[in-house]
């Protein structure tokens, strides 16, 4: 094949892949199977591998680029990026209407285009000859930061326009959009982070903002960021003259545009829509704190000019009740499984959107210091969707002098031991392994489905056992007697027998489950399995040195430290000795010769729910066929096994061009 025909194929492939990405990610209407998509993608990678000099930044293979050196370049926007005036409720909206009507009588006959006001991060995207060349944050409205590499990782951001069909895009086009995270994706992300022992995020908006400002685009690529575009800042062609047509025009080029939008024939209708939608908005997939009302006639809107930084032709109809003021009466401290202390705000009960809120998260102790939140302060509390209510800020202007500045507790509220802070970390810890509250959290974890899977042993029963002094460590669970349990509140014969049977059954769990159950920080299911492959019982693992541990795939210096520290503690050594005495001593089988197995040397990541195999069955199957399973997608991943309701791993795999298998294809591959 000549270079010319190969180049033609390359450009056709890129066009097709961009098109199918768009169908899949933006429209959610794929036309081809994942396998067919993979074929296109792999062919493109193949050609680019042979001709690295042909790789261009807008190639679909280049979604995850290089790490940004140390900070973001400043970018001057082609036009100032304006904010919006707020209107609370119908009256303020009508006041706004009256003001602009006085300026221009044409407003009397005007239509309005309404769009949800997403709570995300504004971005400015520049296209030259249809290619995405620059992406920036809003910054101060005049100067933003160049986050092009991070924005490239967004699956719905077109790298080239038009995505489909022909038609020549404007020579130069600058658009504004909002990057956001859906409520469902946010929950899933936090669950993932929590299961990996990592710190979770406070709310979708901060997560989106933080993700876009990562210096390593690979991290951004792992965040489930989405984009809606809604404004043209500059165009070398004349864009349509109404907001409704403009949004259709943007959609026509392949930009993701929020399908939720309304055209109101007059201000009464606009207000009506805002009020009606206010009741629905908790069901929207993303956080939105209002609806933007724009004059549909963009020329009329421009002619009205500005008040300060706000264009007169648009108004944010803000919903009340999302953020409410109340008094913070107390800051309590929760003790987590690993001993990490987290502050919890106790509030004067307050109604937020129909729900009585009595507690809110304060995130961490730095947050309390940074925001100077004091006990007795009036505070702003926000509740959005299913996210736990959280404190936004205190209102120092309302202080009467009785407020007490908060100090991080010096002692654990549960056991009284001295609190420690790890240098370089935000968190404070209770390091007493016998701490009752830690013990409760640890036992819950030990019994959880990902660890020893002791059915029926939930938070409440754990608390009962700890309070009654029946259990001082996970090993004590195996020493429980029926007589002890029968004395407890609400424990009949059946419940007692069932619990003892479930505990007994857990003795047969394999070593990796027991390792997970120990609750060593940073050790999740993947880490536990890797450790099991190297160290075949708890004895060997407990003797492992830093160097040996770091020789295990996926174990870095921090994790190695956590493991060594854990086993160095006397209480933990006692626990291991107890397990041995009790005969809870699983030994991993010697690694067999895998070279003849069909999946030898292949690394899999599983995401979503598979039709017949459970997650652990699928993992066991892959292992039995010589493959390995890891928790996160990287360039080293051979295949992503994709089930229903997949999360961010799917996007990441696509971004990296990792081939994707469904369950049937996995079984076939291993046959
Ligand atoms: Zn404690």
- Maximum alpha-carbon separation in the chain: 89
Q: Which residues of 423-448 are buried (b: 16+ CB within 10 A; e: fewer)?
A: eeeebbbbbbbebbbbbbbbbbbbbb
Token reading at 79: 């036009």
Range with lowest mean pLDDT among 308-322, 392-406, 572-586:
308-322
Average pLDDT over residues 136-162: 89
For residue 351, pLDDT over 60 is answered with: yes
pLDDT of residue 370: 85
| Whole-number Å distance between alpha carbons of 107 and 246 | 20
CB 186 within 8 A of CB 119: no
Distance from the alpha carbon of residue 340 to the mean position of ligand 1, in angstroms: 9
Assign domain 3-62 to its CATH superfamily. Helix hairpin bin (1.10.287.610)
Show the CA angle centred on residue 224, arms to residues 220 and 227, nearest 5°: 90
Q: Which residues of 566-580 are buried (b: 16+ CB within 10 A; e: fewer)?
A: bbeeeebeebbebbe
| Whole-number Å distance between alpha carbons of 348 and 377 | 11
Token reading at 237: 């062609």
CB 132 within 8 A of CB 157: yes
Element (H, E) at 486: helix 482-486
pLDDT of residue 66: 58
Token reading at 50: 């042979």
In sequence order, what DSSP letters do the residues of 496-562 get, joined into one string?
Answer: HHHHHHHHHHGGG--HHHHHHHHT-TT--HHHHHHHHHH--SHHHHHH--HHHHHTSTT--HHHHHH
Decide if domain 511-581 falls under CATH 1.10.150.20: yes
Nearest Cα neighbor of 201 from 422, 74, 361 is 361
Q: For 125, which DSSP code?
A: E
Nearest Cα neighbor of 342 from 360, 324, 326, 358 is 360
One fold for 3-62 and 323-405: no
pLDDT (tens digit, 9 = 90+) per residue, 495-539?
999 999 999 999 999 999 999 999 888 787 778 988 998 898 999
Q: Which residue has the higher pLDDT, 468 or 525?
A: 468
Nearest Cα neighbor of 438 from 463, 418, 460 is 463
Nearest Cα neighbor of 661 from 616, 604, 621 is 604
Q: Which residue has the higher pLDDT, 583 or 307?
A: 583
Distance from the alpha carbon of residue 549 to the mean position of ligand 1, in angstroms: 29
Range with lowest mean pLDDT among 190-199, 363-372, 544-553:
190-199
Of the candidates 7, 45, 74, 117, the residue annotated as catalytic is 117
Decide if domain 85-318 falls under CATH 3.30.470.30: yes
Neighbours of 348 (CB within 10 A): 13
Residue with tokens 């490239």: 152
For residue 3, pLDDT over 80 is answered with: yes
Average pLDDT over residues 216-225: 85
Strand, helix or coil at 352?
A: strand
Per-residue pLDDT band at 628 (split at 50, 70, 90): confident
Distance from the alpha carbon of residue 412 to the mean position of ligand 1, in angstroms: 4
Per-residue pLDDT band at 325 (split at 50, 70, 90): confident
Average pLDDT over residues 651-663: 86
pLDDT of residue 301: 95
Q: What are phi and psi of 383, to 5 degrees?
A: -130, 130
Q: Which residue has the higher pLDDT, 323 or 188?
A: 188
Element (H, E) at 360: strand 355-361
Per-residue pLDDT band at 68 (split at 50, 70, 90): low
Show the CA angle centred on residue 317, arms to residues 316 and 323, nearest 5°: 100
Nearest Cα neighbor of 77 from 134, 152, 150, 153 is 134
What is the percent of the chain where pLDDT is above 90? 44
pTM, rounded to two decimals: 0.54
CB 224 within 8 A of CB 187: no
Per-residue pLDDT band at 349 (split at 50, 70, 90): very high
Choose which CATH entry (3.30.1490.20, 3.40.50.300, 1.10.10.10, 1.10.150.20) describes domain 436-508. Answer: 1.10.150.20
CB 522 within 8 A of CB 562: yes
Q: For 100, which DSSP code?
A: H
pLDDT of residue 635: 83
Average pLDDT over residues 163-189: 88
Distance from the alpha carbon of residue 463 to the mean position of ligand 1, in angstroms: 15
For residue 365, pLDDT over 60 is answered with: yes
Distance from the alpha carbon of residue 429 to the mean position of ligand 1, in angstroms: 8
| Whole-number Å distance between alpha carbons of 566 and 442 | 14
| Whole-number Å distance between alpha carbons of 26 and 596 | 43
pLDDT (tens digit, 9 = 90+) per residue, 121-135?
899 999 999 999 999
Average pLDDT over residues 273-298: 89
Distance from the alpha carbon of residue 419 to the mean position of ligand 1, in angstroms: 8
Per-residue pLDDT band at 86 (split at 50, 70, 90): confident
| Whole-number Å distance between alpha carbons of 666 and 619 | 11
Range with lowest mean pLDDT among 4-8, 281-285, 403-407:
281-285
Residue with tokens 């056709």: 12
| Radius of gyration in angstroms for the set of CA atoms belonging to the chain, rounded to a whole number | 29
Token reading at 508: 């047969």
**Dihedral sign, CA of 545, 548, 549, 550?**
positive
Chain mean pLDDT for the chain: 87
Distance from the alpha carbon of residue 433 to the mean position of ligand 1, in angstroms: 8
Distance from the alpha carbon of residue 568 to the mean position of ligand 1, in angstroms: 18
Average pLDDT over residues 626-651: 84
pLDDT (tens digit, 9 = 90+) per residue, 483-499?
999 999 999 999 999 99
Decide if domain 603-670 falls under CATH 3.40.1110.10: no
Question: Domain boundaries in the chain?
Answer: 3-62, 85-318, 323-405, 436-508, 511-581, 603-670
What is the percent of the chain where pLDDT is above 70? 96
Neighbours of 524 (CB within 10 A): 17
Q: Which residue has the higher pLDDT, 423 or 592?
A: 423
pLDDT (tens digit, 9 = 90+) per residue, 288-321?
888 999 999 999 999 999 887 789 999 999 876 5
117 is catalytic: yes
Assign domain 323-405 to its CATH superfamily. Nucleic acid-binding proteins (2.40.50.140)
Range with lowest mean pLDDT among 44-53, 70-79, 620-629:
70-79
| Whole-number Å distance between alpha carbons of 502 and 511 | 18
- Calculated CA dihedral for residues 540, 546, 547, 551, nearest 10 degrees: 70
| Whole-number Å distance between alpha carbons of 311 and 377 | 36
CB 228 within 8 A of CB 257: yes
Per-residue pLDDT band at 64 (split at 50, 70, 90): low
Q: How many residues does the chain have?
A: 671
CA atoms within a 13 Å half-sphere pointing along the CA-CB vector of 533: 17
| Whole-number Å distance between alpha carbons of 45 and 43 | 5
Q: Which residue has the higher pLDDT, 53 or 279?
A: 53
Residue with tokens 């202080």: 399
pLDDT (tens digit, 9 = 90+) per residue, 162-171?
877 668 899 9
Per-residue pLDDT band at 278 (split at 50, 70, 90): confident
Strand, helix or coil at 602?
A: coil
């Amino acid at each position: 094949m000549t270079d010319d025909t190969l180049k033609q194929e390359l450009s056709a492939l890129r066009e097709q892949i961009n098109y199918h990405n768009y169908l899949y990610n933006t429209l959610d209407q794929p036309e081809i199977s994942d396998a067919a998509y993979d074929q296109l993608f792999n062919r493109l990678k193949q050609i680019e591998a042979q001709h690295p000099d042909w790789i261009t930044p807008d190639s679909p293979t280049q979604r995850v680029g290089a790490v940004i050196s140390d900070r973001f370049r400043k970018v001057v926007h082609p036009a100032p990026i304006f904010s919006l005036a707020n209107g609370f409720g119908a009256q303020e909206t009508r006041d706004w209407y009256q003001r602009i009507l006085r300026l221009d009588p044409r407003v009397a006959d005007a239509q309005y285009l309404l769009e949800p006001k997403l709570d995300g991060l504004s971005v400015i995207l520049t296209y030259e000859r249809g290619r995405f060349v620059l992406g920036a944050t809003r910054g101060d409205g005049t100067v933003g930061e160049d986050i092009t590499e991070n924005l490239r990782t967004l699956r719905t951001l077109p790298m080239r326009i038009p995505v489909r069909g022909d038609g020549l895009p404007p020579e130069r086009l600058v658009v504004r959009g909002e990057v956001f995270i859906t409520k469902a994706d946010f929950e899933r992300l936090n669950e993932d982070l929590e299961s990996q022992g990592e710190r979770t995020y406070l709310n979708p908006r901060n997560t989106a903002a933080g993700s876009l400002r990562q210096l390593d685009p690979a991290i951004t690529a792992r965040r489930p960021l989405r984009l809606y575009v809604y404004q043209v800042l500059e165009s070398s062609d004349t864009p349509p003259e109404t907001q409704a047509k403009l949004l259709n025009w943007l959609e026509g080029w392949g930009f993701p545009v929020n399908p939720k939008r309304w055209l109101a024939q007059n201000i009464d209708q606009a207000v009506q829509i805002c009020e009606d939608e206010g009741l629905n908005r908790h069901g929207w997939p993303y956080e939105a704190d209002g609806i933007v009302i724009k004059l549909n006639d963009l020329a009329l809107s421009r002619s009205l000019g500005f008040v300060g930084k706000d264009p007169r032709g648009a108004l944010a109809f803000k919903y009340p009740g999302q953020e409410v003021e109340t008094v913070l009466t107390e800051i309590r401290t929760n003790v987590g499984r690993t001993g990490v202390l987290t502050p919890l705000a106790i509030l004067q009960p307050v109604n937020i959107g129909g729900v009585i809120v009595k507690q809110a998260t304060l995130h961490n102790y730095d947050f309390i210091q940074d925001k100077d939140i004091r006990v007795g302060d009036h505070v702003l509390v926000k509740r959005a969707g299913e996210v736990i209510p959280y404190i936004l800020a205190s209102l120092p202007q309302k202080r009467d002098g009785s407020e007490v500045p908060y100090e991080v507790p010096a002692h654990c509220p549960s056991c009284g031991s001295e609190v420690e802070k790890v240098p370089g970390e935000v968190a404070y810890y209770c390091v007493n392994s016998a701490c009752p509250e830690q013990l409760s959290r640890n036992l819950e974890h030990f019994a959880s489905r990902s660890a020893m899977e002791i059915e029926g042993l939930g938070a409440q029963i754990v608390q009962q056992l700890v309070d009654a002094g029946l259990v001082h460590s996970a090993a004590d669970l195996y020493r429980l007697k029926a007589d002890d349990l029968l004395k407890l509140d609400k424990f009949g014969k059946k419940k007692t027998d069932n619990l003892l049977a479930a505990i007994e059954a857990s003795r047969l769990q394999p070593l990796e489950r027991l390792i997970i159950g120990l609750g060593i920080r940073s050790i999740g299911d993947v880490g536990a399995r890797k450790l099991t492959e190297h160290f075949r019982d708890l004895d060997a693992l407990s003797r492992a040195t830093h160097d040996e541990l770091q020789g295990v795939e996926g174990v870095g210096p921090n994790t190695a430290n956590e493991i060594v520290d854990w086993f160095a503690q006397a209480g933990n050594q006692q626990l291991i000795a107890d397990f041995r005495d009790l005969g809870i001593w699983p030994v991993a089988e010697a690694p067999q010769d895998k070279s003849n197995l069909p999946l030898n040397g292949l690394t899999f990541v599983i995401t979503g729910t598979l039709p017949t195999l459970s997650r652990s069955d699928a993992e066991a199957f892959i292992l039995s066929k010589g493959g390995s399973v890891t928790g996160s997608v990287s360039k080293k991943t051979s295949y992503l096994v994709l089930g229903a309701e997949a999360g961010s791993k799917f996007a990441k795999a696509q971004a990296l061009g990792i081939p994707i298998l469904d369950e049937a294809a996995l079984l076939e591959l291993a046959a």
